[in-house]
Amino acid sequence: MSNLSSTNSAKLSNFEKKVYLSLTKVQRGKVVTYATLAGFPGAARAIGNAMNKNPFAPTLLCHRVVKNDGSLGGFAHRTRRKMELLRSGKVFVENEKIADFEKIKLK
């Protein structure tokens, strides 16, 4: 890998690489769903695993990944934190859901 984290030895699978790479394309103020990030339907769960292992902790913005229904989903460090991070990126959360989800999510 070239662009991703430098503090990584990378023994990542093709799938993982693709996911992390796509994640770097998520602009500030936008979010993406697990399913969409996967690139094909059904792999949403696998994405969660990828994020959970997440080798590039702060480097890779894993907090911009949310569920398809607009809820935050899970997070390795607590959902509160995730919301804070999102708010910092101009992504606001209301009632446990992403505000204007349909407008800011990437397809």
- Site map 53..72 versus DNA, x via CB under 7 A: xx-------xx-x-xxx---
Q: Could you tell me how far CA 15 lies from the centroid of its own chain?
A: 15
Q: How far is the CB of 105 from DNA (least distance, A)?
A: 10
**Of 2-10, 51-59, 86-94, 99-107: span binding DNA (CB under 7 A):** 51-59
State the Cα–Cα distance between residues 52 and 24, nearest whole angstrom: 16
Close Cβ partners of 85 (under 8 Å, ≥ 6 residues apart): 61, 63
Give yes or no: 62 in active site: yes
Closest by Cα among 102, 57, 107, 99 to 81 = 57
No. of helices (H) and no. of strands (E), the chain = 5, 4
Amino acid at site 43? A
- Residue among 4, 16, 83, 98 that touches DNA (CB under 7 A): 16
Q: How far is the CB of 45 from DNA (least distance, A)?
A: 4
Q: Which is catalytic among the residues 23, 26, 38, 62?
A: 62
- Interface with DNA (CB under 7 A): 13, 15-16, 33-35, 41-54, 62-63, 65, 67-69, 73-76, 82
Active site residues: 62
